[in-house]
Structures are given as C-alpha cells and as structure tokens.
Amino acid sequence: MARTREFKLTTTLLIALAISSIVVEAKPFHHFKDHLPVKLGLAGAPVAPGGEAVFVITNYGAKPDGKSDSSMSFQKAWKDACNSNGPARVVVPAGTFKTGEIIFTGPCTAAPITFEVQGTMLGSEDVSMYSQNQWITIEHVNNVIVTGPGTLDGLGASTWKLKDDSFGGGVRLPDSLVFFASNNSVAQNFASVNSKGFHIKVLQSVNVTVQNVTITAPGDSPNTDGVHVSRSENVNVLDSTIGTGDDCVSIGAGNTNVTVARIVCGPGHGLSVGSLGKWQDETDLRGVTVTNCTLTNTTNGARIKSYRQSPSLSASGIIFDDLVMNGGSNVKLSDIHFRNIRGTSLTNVAVTLNCSSTFPCEGVELVDIDLSYAGAPSQDSLPVQSACQNVKPTVSGIMNPPACPAR
C-alpha cells in the first residue's frame, strides 16, 4: 500500500464525490461501562469507593436553578479535587447549572480526575464572560476524564447572530469544551448541544480519545464544528453521532496519528481534514485515518481543505476507508486513499478529483467505489461519470462510475 507516499498540498485541491439522499440508521454502539457506583457522603464529604475522592459542586454552593452563575463553585470543587491525592471525581449532579468561563488547570496531585456531568450545564449567553473564548477548559493537566451521561448546552442560538456580517462577521465565539495541553485524557458518554463556537476542541495534546458523544446543533449554525483537533498526537474520535452547522470532525494542521472511526455525521459540512495553509505557522499533518463513518446530508462529505499556497506544508498518509455517504450535493474528498465508498449520487458527476495544475495530486488511490445515480429523473439519461483535473489515480476493484479517463 502506498500509505506513506508523501503529498504536497498547495492552493486548492479537491476530490469530490457528489452523492444523494438515503437515510441510514445509525448502528448501535457496542456498550462499554464507564460508571463507578459513586456514593456521596453526608454533606458532600468526599468518600472514596475504591480510593476515589468525590467533590460535588452543590457542596460548593452551585445552584441547580438554571439561572445563578455557578462558575466559582466549579472552580473551587476542581481546586480541591486537583489538590487531593489518588483518583478524584468532580460531580455535577442532576439539575441545571449555569456558568460562564470555567478553567480546570493543573498541575494536579490527583490522577486521574473525572469530571462527571450527570445533569445539564448551561453556558452563559454573555460572551464577555469568556476571556479565552472557551467555556470549559481543561489545561496543563493530564489524565482527565470528562464523562456524562449529562449535557453541555452552550446556549449558542442567541450568540450565532454575532457571526452575521451585520455584526462585523468573523467574531470568535466560545468553544464549549477544550483540552489544551492535556495528555492521556478522555471525553466520553455525554451530549453537547448548541455550542457557541466549536463543541469539543483538542489542542496541543497527546493520547486523547473522544468516544460516544452526541453532538447537535442546527444545520445552519455558524462554525459549530463537532470535534476539532490540532497540533496533537494520537487522537481518537470514535463511536459518536454528530450533526452541526459545520464540520462533524475537523482535523487541522500539526497533527500526527488521528483516527476517526464509526462516526454518524450529518447534517453539516462533513468530515474534514484541514483547513490547511490558513495560518503561516502551521506544521505538517501526518497520518489521518477516517474509517467506518456514515455521512448523511452533509454538504462536503469527506474532504481536505487547503488555503493559500504553502509549498512547505505537507499532508501525508491520509486514508479514507469504508465510508457511506448519503445525501448532500457537493462531497469533496481529497488526498490519498479512498476505499470502499458506497452510496448514491445526486448529480451525474459522481466523482470529482480536482487538483491544481501547478501541483498535481500524487499518490491518489481509489479502490472499490460504488456510487449510483439517484438524482432528478430529468438527468437520468446521462450516465454517472467522474471528472478529473491534474490527477492520475491508481484504481482497483469496483469502480462505478469508471474513474477518471486515462490521460
């Protein structure tokens, strides 16, 4: 396999599959156990089943009324957990708790530290409360487990309009949950809805897994990416259902070894590698595997986005495997390996490999692509076909429609 073949990304490079609108049922996840039977002591005194110290935010004054600002209670509970020894757990019990910015920072003597959200957290609509444009930040602390079964509700709806051109556009809105310089951490088993900015962001971290999260925002909400990963290593995004107004998962520059598997994605833009070349100081991207994902009603499918000419930036070893795409009209895929892509196309041009003339795509492999036409009857007479520019993919297996004409 030519998995390691290097590939220079410059200017615009698109490989597009245009596909249609079947609704597919999400496959059930295999079940894994997360919950320890935590007992809470009277008056919230930390008790330790299996040696775990437990800190309940209501014992720090947090009010489950959905109105009071409980930010300080979260900070204090974290501080005590962080400064304890052995495993620790901060618990958000049932109820609705509103906060502004929360920063869980290290270094900590406790490890691991679990942040368990049983109820619902609301992120204040007042964007001036977020000094770093982030709602819940886990930073400079390793071995943190954020878990549910509760919900992080960013209350984004009232803030998305700040993105409108009439408000100057380009305003950065707070991301809901950010891991920054946090190694060996996990986000699992919770729901995230209506983030103002991104839902989950993994930045400059090593060995992070996001698993079994349900992420939801309206299809027309701006920049509400589900999971964004950048400058990180060994990151897994698994077994999750993500539908937002932007990318379900976006893998930025400077990452090594990112695996995205078993994601049910849509609506939204799709699964995206990039944007690359947007910022001057970006570093290369190596090793992204996207497998067993289903994309329904996404505008772009799976793709690589690149911006300005950045000849020193490279993306290598990118594999798209076993993707099912349903719905959406402009599925852009780019880079190297596309295998087992099945679905239906809304237009008669099913596969578009669109590379720049100055830097043609190299090392593009297509294996087993089977897309049939399911668009409007008026176009039915036209055969489904592929369109290619500046690329000579190697092709094997089923190829329906036939891959780009040999040139």
Ligand X SMILES: *[C@@H]1O[C@H](CO)[C@@H](O)[C@H](O)[C@H]1NC(C)=O
Residues tagged active-site: 269
Task: Name the token pair of 351.
Answer: 């596969």
Give the contacts of 31 (CB within 8 A, at least 6 positions apart).
none
**Site residues (CB under 6 A) for ligand X, limited to 67-126:** none
Which of 5, 76, 140, 231: binder of ligand X (CB under 6 A)?
140
The nearer residue to ligand X, 127 or 263, going by C-beta atoms, is: 263
Q: Which of 24, 34, 68, 76 binds ligand X (CB under 6 A)?
A: 34
Compare residues 100 and 267 and give the one whose CB is closer to ligand X: 267
Tell me the one-letter amino acid at 276.
Answer: L
List CB contacts of 208: < 8 A, sequence separation 6 or more.
179, 182, 183, 184, 185, 186, 187, 202, 232, 234, 235, 236
Q: Does 148 bind ligand X (CB under 6 A)?
A: yes
Site for ligand X in 215-254 (CB under 6 A): 219, 234, 236
Nearest residue (CB) to ligand X, 31 versus 407 = 31
CB of 226 to ligand X, least distance (A): 14
CB of 204 to ligand X, least distance (A): 8
Among 3, 5, 8, 21, which residue interacts with ligand X (rule: CB under 6 A)?
21
With 0-12 / 13-18 / 19 or more C-beta atoms within 10 angstroms meaning exposed / middle / buried, residue 365 is: middle
The CA-atom distances, in angstroms, between 117 and each of 9, 77, 97, 191 are 41, 13, 10, 10
| Residue whose Cβ sits closest to ligand X | 219
By CB under 6 A, residue 14 contacts ligand X: yes
Site string for ligand X, 41-60 (x = CB under 6 A): --------------------
Nearest to 127 by CA among 151, 152, 154, 105: 154
Q: Which amino acid belongs to residue 404?
A: C
**Segment near ligand X (CB under 6 A), from 59-67, 86-94, 113-121, 177-185?**
177-185
Task: Give the x/- contact pattern for ligand X in 318-347, rule: CB under 6 A.
Answer: ----x----x--------------------
Instruction: Assess 291 for contact with ligand X (CB under 6 A).
Output: yes
Give least dist CB 224 to ligand X, A: 12
24 binds ligand X (CB under 6 A): no
24-33 CB contacts, 8 Å cutoff, 24+ apart: 24/294, 24/296, 24/324, 24/326, 26/241, 26/264, 26/294, 27/262, 27/264, 27/294, 29/212, 29/239, 29/262, 30/239, 32/212
DSSP track, 78-102: HHHHHTSSEEEEEEE-SSEEEES-E
CB of 245 to ligand X, least distance (A): 8
Please tell me the distance from the alpha carbon of residue 203 to that of residue 74, in angstroms, as a whole number. 22
Question: According to CB under 6 A, which residues from 348 to 367 bind ligand X?
Answer: 352, 354
Q: Considering only residues 144, 191, 248, 304, which one is a binding residue for ligand X as defined by CB under 6 A?
A: 191
Of 3, 5, 8, 12, the one binding ligand X (CB under 6 A) is: 12
Tokens of 22: 């079947």
Burial class (CB in 10 A: 0-12, 13-18, 19+), 170: exposed
Give kind and range of the element (H or E) at residue 352: strand 349-354
Position of tokens 């593009």?
364
Q: HSE of 386 in the Cβ direction (CA atoms, 13 Å)?
A: 25
390: left (phi over 0), alpha (psi -120 to 50) or beta: left
| Minimum distance from residue 148 beta carbon to ligand X (Å) | 4
Site for ligand X in 193-212 (CB under 6 A): 206-207, 212
Span near ligand X by CB under 6 A; candidates 36-44, 69-77, 223-231, 257-265: 257-265
Q: Which residues bind ligand X (CB under 6 A)?
A: 12, 14, 16, 21, 29, 31-32, 34, 140, 142, 148-149, 181, 183-184, 189-191, 206-207, 212, 214, 219, 234, 236, 257, 261-262, 267, 291-292, 297, 322, 327, 352, 354, 389
